[in-house]
């Protein structure tokens, strides 16, 4: 067989076989199914991306709100601090106002006399059995002393010179307190501990 004849024989092989219509329909249906499956598989990652973006935006949004509220709170707190500082200043000023003016010698003598008088009156009120009449507790003693002396000194005197027993208050016999000798010259000195 010559090459040309061989070539012709090859070219004239039948190629007219057709796929059955039913099979064609099935294949077309499969193509359609595959197309739907592909669309779904493409939508999956897309949905995932959208979801992640949404969550990220939400996180950023809430972070921004949180930071904004923090800033707002700080702004509100700062003037309050200033206000309280102002109050402190006012209080300090008030304290200054309450602080007595510098005492002179006459004032000191008057205060010291009142201090001695109040203590002695209370102490000397005791009966022979050293009981203070009409006084039921050390608190009453303390309150009375407190009218002329500081809280610390009043407490100290109450503990040192008085005792409470069965609802009665007794004086403790011992050396008396130190009083100012008015006839002798004295110097004035500021003493925070005993604010008489």
Partner 1 sequence: MTNEDVVTTWFHQYSDDVYNFLIYYVGSGDVEDMVQEVFIKAMKHFKHESKPKTWLFSIARNVAIDQMRKKKRERNKESKLLQEKNMSNEESPEDIYQLSETKRELYQAVQCLKKNYREVLLLRGIQELTIEETARILGWSPNKVKVTFHRAMKTLKKQMGGVK
Q: Rounded distance, CA 4 to CA 181, Å?
A: 156
CB of 48 to partner 1, least distance (A): 21
**Which residue ranges make up the site for partner 1 (CB under 8 A)?**
1-3, 6-7, 9-20, 23-24, 26-28, 30-32, 34-35, 38
CB of 47 to partner 1, least distance (A): 20
State which residue, 18 or 98, has the beta carbon closest to partner 1: 18
State which residue, 6 or 67, has the beta carbon closest to partner 1: 6
CB of 40 to partner 1, least distance (A): 13
CB of 49 to partner 1, least distance (A): 21
State which residue, 26 or 143, has the beta carbon closest to partner 1: 26
CB of 58 to partner 1, least distance (A): 34
State which residue, 16 or 101, has the beta carbon closest to partner 1: 16
Q: Rounded distance, CA 10 to CA 154, Å?
A: 134
State which residue, 13 or 183, has the beta carbon closest to partner 1: 13
Q: Rounded distance, CA 143 to CA 54, Å?
A: 72
């Amino acid at each position: 067989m010559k090459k040309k004849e061989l070539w012709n024989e090859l070219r004239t092989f039948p190629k007219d076989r057709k796929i059955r219509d039913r099979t064609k329909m099935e294949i077309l249906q499969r193509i359609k199914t595959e197309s739907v499956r592909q669309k779904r598989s493409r939508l999956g990652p897309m949905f995932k991306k959208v979801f992640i973006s949404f969550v990220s935006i939400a996180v950023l949004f809430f972070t921004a709100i949180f930071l904004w509220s923090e800033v707002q709170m700080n702004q509100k707190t700062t003037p309050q601090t200033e206000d309280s500082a102002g109050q402190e200043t006012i209080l300090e000023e008030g304290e200054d106002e309450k602080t007595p003016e510098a005492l002179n010698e006459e004032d000191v003598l008057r205060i010291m006399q009142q201090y001695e008088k109040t203590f002695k009156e209370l102490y000397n009120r005791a009966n022979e059995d050293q009981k203070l009449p009409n006084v039921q507790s050390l608190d009453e003693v303390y309150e009375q002393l407190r009218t002329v002396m500081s809280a610390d000194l009043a407490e100290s005197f109450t503990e040192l010179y008085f005792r409470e027993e069965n609802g009665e208050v007794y004086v403790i016999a011992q050396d008396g307190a130190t009083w100012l000798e008015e006839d002798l010259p004295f110097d004035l000195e500021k003493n925070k501990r005993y604010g008489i």
